[in-house]
Structure 1
């Protein structure tokens, strides 16, 4: 047992589990850097929906295959890690791999929902402005087109 490591039976909760991880292990630093790059890409691509959709799908595929990644890492941990972290329940891979990815996916979905609400608000504003413009152009009698979504009927102005 290396100094600073704790026995498995000493882990009594999630925080002691996190404290037992050697965060200076080079592959963990690399994984954290990948998460930072992914989050940066999600933030910087707010106006590029196609890239965001591609990133979202890749991230979800990574989470989907995390069980297989966990099994592979559990059998080959000596080649890249100082400690065997990969348990059969997947707590470690869920903590350091899947949770940050899913948080990025939630951010992307939130970005899309915000963009959708902004687009709907702009569309409704444009519809109202067009209706007012039509009323100004034709204040007396005649027919006016009704805004989209109202059946495309024409109404008689009074």
Structure 2
């Protein structure tokens, strides 16, 4: 019995050490990501006109997505447009990287495309996800309406057979 008790205590000590190491790694692990985000945020001149227009475009697309939520066909076109924008991001990054002096104060367009991924593709993907979720909700609602109509039809047919 004493051996079992000491084994349990040893196991509990190991678990406590693992939890402590995991929590300290988690706290330490998020700090560099936060520092990188803050550095990225401060490296951008947010007052440049083309950046303000880009943010305005994404905001207008978001509002258009929200206000057109009942028009599934239009939303599917908007969905495809958003995904096409993400697909063309690499070519856009290359083009903007070659011509940045004509519209920007500094070259944001590196070879890996991080800047364009965050400020162009990221918002377009969020808009596409919103459209996708809305479409799934609309399909669920349509399935419920269809099943209700089917049940009403079956009840009417059963009632007519009784009479």
Corresponding position of 1:27: 50
1:125 positional shift: 1.1
Moved more, 27-36 or 56-65: 56-65
Using structure 1 for the length normalisation, give the TM-score: 0.77
Corresponding position of 1:114: 137
- Structure 2's unaligned 5+ residue stretches are 1-34
Partners of 1:68 and 1:51 in 2: how far apart? 26
Name the SS for the 2:127 alignment partner. helix
Partners of 1:83 and 1:39 in 2: how far apart? 28
- CA-atom RMSD, angstroms? 1.6
Question: Is the counterpart of residue 36 in structure 1 residue 59 in structure 2?
Answer: yes
1:13 positional shift: 1.1
Partners of 2:56 and 2:96 in 1: how far apart? 19
Name the SS for the 1:88 alignment partner. coil
Pairing of 1:70-85 with structure 2 (within 5 A):
70-85=93-108
Pairing of 1:1-158 with structure 2 (within 5 A):
13-139=36-162
1:37 positional shift: 1.0
Between 1 and 2, higher relative CO (CA 8 Å, sep ≥ 6) is seen in 2
Higher fraction of helix: 2
